[in-house]
Amino acid sequence: MADVVWRPDPQRMARSHLQRFLDRTGARDLDDLRARAAADPGWFWREVEQDLGVAWYQPYTQALDLTDGVPWARWFTGGRMNAANDALDKHVATPRRRQLALVWEGEDGAVRRYSYFDLWQETNRVANALEELGIRQGDRVGIFLPMLPETAAVLLACCKVGAIFIPIFSGYGADAVATRLREGGARLLVTADGFYRRGRPVLQKPVADQAAAACPDLEHILMVRRLGADVPFTEPRDVAYDDVVARMRATYESKQLDAETPVMLIYTSGTTGRPKGAVHVHAGFPLKAAQDLAHCFDLQGGDLLFWFTDMGWMMGPWEVFGALWLGATMLFYEGTPDYPQPDRIWALCARHGVSHLGVSPTAIRALMTHGTDWVRRHDLSRLHVLGSTGEPWNPDPWRWYFEEVGGARCPIINYSGGTEISGGILGCFPNSPMVPCAFAGPIPGVPAEVLGEDGKPVRGAVGELAITGPWPGMTRGFWQDRERYLETYWSRWPGVWVHGDWARVDADGFWYIEGRSDDTLKVAGKRVGPAEVESELVAHPAVVEAAAIGVPDEVKGEAIVCFCILAPGTEPGAALAAELRDWVGARLGRPLAPKDVRFVSDLPRTRNGKIIRRAVRAAYLGLPAGDLSALENPAALEAVRAAAGS
């Protein structure tokens, strides 16, 4: 029987955007809506865009065109629109123009607030500046910025002029930045002199200069002065944001673009090979982001969304488009969640009245080690919804987030999808009961299934997470690499998108992500997801965080090796390692007991919290790790190597 720990009350049901959508479409319940959406995706997404109030300059003639096959589906044929029009322009003619669109807080405590009208004017000035710098429709613009108000304005200005923005993680080194700019053929790079990280200035402009030297198509660097630091500045290539934007007109008429016009080129890192450039369009990524935030997170006009992320990750543009399309307010924060004290993230929520908070399970695991007092000293009563994405949950951190942060009254919207999806495949819903660590099921409009090796649906067993039909947010292919896109997602079964995640549906109909397919462990013929092993380890009081990997074994074919971060005050040693091996074996079965347990001070992860298990495995086995450009903490790899050699 499912361990249901939360159910919606009548007030939440009455407010629910999703419930109103069910009523609008005449669907009996979520299952009925999913079935109708899968049977007629054109009908479903037509209802979605109408419900969201998309402002078409010219109406579309056909919602879905499958002439070129499902992998190359085209949406809203003949329609003309602009993602920035739906984010800003249409709001400034209404009373919403006075509502807050963006609140920004720097790590140093500086705060700036922008109404919809303020952000609209700033974005218009930037759009005019882009045109003065020679940027036209179809040109690519790299955005290598921390979470600043200017970051949102540049992103939306690119939309207005019809340029394609390339979001780049603010912590990347020069090679990673150059790869994305060069492959995308960017003509302009927007960066900052630097930003604050744990109280220290981190200079970005020198990194941008190194990257620019390797990018022959790059003509200009537009630099935001965040620190006022003394950094190299080469005229006429380099242009100061403050100087050029301040003298621009505060009006700009957004270009009327075909719905399939590319808006974003975002690179994702794979296990091997160069990063993949996912192409997204004006009526794709923004529409899916807004739908997910409406239907899964129940974000509505006037709510305040704070998702701890970077603009270089999918969740950055997702927050901008989703929040503004829905008429909500977004909070940007420049720094880390635990600086200068472990309560920084809770203080942010209380100070600004956050209603919707999104963090990764990794961040919660780290924050809970500081204890509950840091949370309880802040008034979090305005929190309405908690969100999480990036990786599977372990039960104890999930409950801590639910009980200590949300007071057992806020649902945790577990959310999983990907950059190429434009958001979620699986989610939770404000009008559905919740079980720790689980998903309520597929998000309507994304027909997901768990498929066995024969390509048929399975229940109660681990299989491949797949999508059996089109949706507007699907990437329009990889940049200048048509075949790689088809090989990556569409080559396993005809017309089926295979996402690369293992998933499972239990007897009660709740869904679980069991880790990446390429992370899966198969020990003596028994397949288990690393998240399942890690959850058992984290349940032990000595372990704060863990990564489980598979290594070659002469007898079992593959054996499990675990790397653990210990709770403060816990001493590592052979006795504890043996205890943890027995602990896992007693819970998962002796064949799945780890062959070895090692102790480390940190694990390699991206800034949004994903542990890069392949990097752990490569370090342990002395193999090439593949693309590590997304790695936030390179020193953690050395810790793994040292532990592996001990």
Average pLDDT over residues 171-190: 91
Using only C-alpha atoms, the chain has a radius of gyration, in whole angstroms, of: 24
The confidence score (pLDDT) of residue 632 equals: 78
pLDDT tens-digit series, residues 485-508: 999 999 999 999 999 888 999 999
Predicted confidence band at 252 (pLDDT cuts at 50, 70, 90)? very high
DSSP state of 601: S
Which helix H or strand E contains 513, and what residues bound it? strand 511-516
Average pLDDT over residues 266-270: 77
* Residues 549 and 478 sit within 8 Å (Cβ to Cβ): no
Predicted confidence band at 148 (pLDDT cuts at 50, 70, 90)? very high
pLDDT at 611 over 70: yes
* Residues 16 and 448 sit within 8 Å (Cβ to Cβ): no
pLDDT at 162 over 80: yes
Better-predicted residue by pLDDT, 638 or 229? 229
State the Cα–Cα distance between residues 550 and 455, nearest whole angstrom.
25
Task: Count Cβ atoms within 10 A of the Cβ of residue 201 and give its class: 0-12 exposed, 13-18 middle, 19 or more buried.
Answer: middle
Average pLDDT over residues 475-483: 95
Q: How many residues does the chain have?
A: 646
pLDDT at 424 over 90: yes
Place of tokens 């040693």: 573
Report phi then psi at 320, rounded to 5.
-65, -55
What's the whole-number average pLDDT of the chain? 93
pLDDT at 270 over 80: no
* Residues 255 and 162 sit within 8 Å (Cβ to Cβ): yes
State the Cα–Cα distance between residues 153 and 87, nearest whole angstrom.
11
Percentage of residues of the chain with pLDDT beyond 70? 96
pLDDT tens-digit series, residues 386-420: 999 977 888 899 999 999 999 999 999 999 999 99
Give me the domains of the chain, ranges plus CATH numbers.
Answer: 116-258 (3.40.50.980), 520-644 (3.30.300.30)
pLDDT at 518 over 70: no
pLDDT at 525 over 70: no
Report phi then psi at 541, rounded to 5.
-60, -20
Predicted confidence band at 271 (pLDDT cuts at 50, 70, 90)? very low
pLDDT at 482 over 90: yes
Percentage of residues of the chain with pLDDT beyond 90? 79
pLDDT tens-digit series, residues 330-385: 999 999 999 999 999 999 999 999 999 999 888 898 899 999 999 999 999 999 99
* Residues 551 and 519 sit within 8 Å (Cβ to Cβ): no
The confidence score (pLDDT) of residue 95 equals: 97
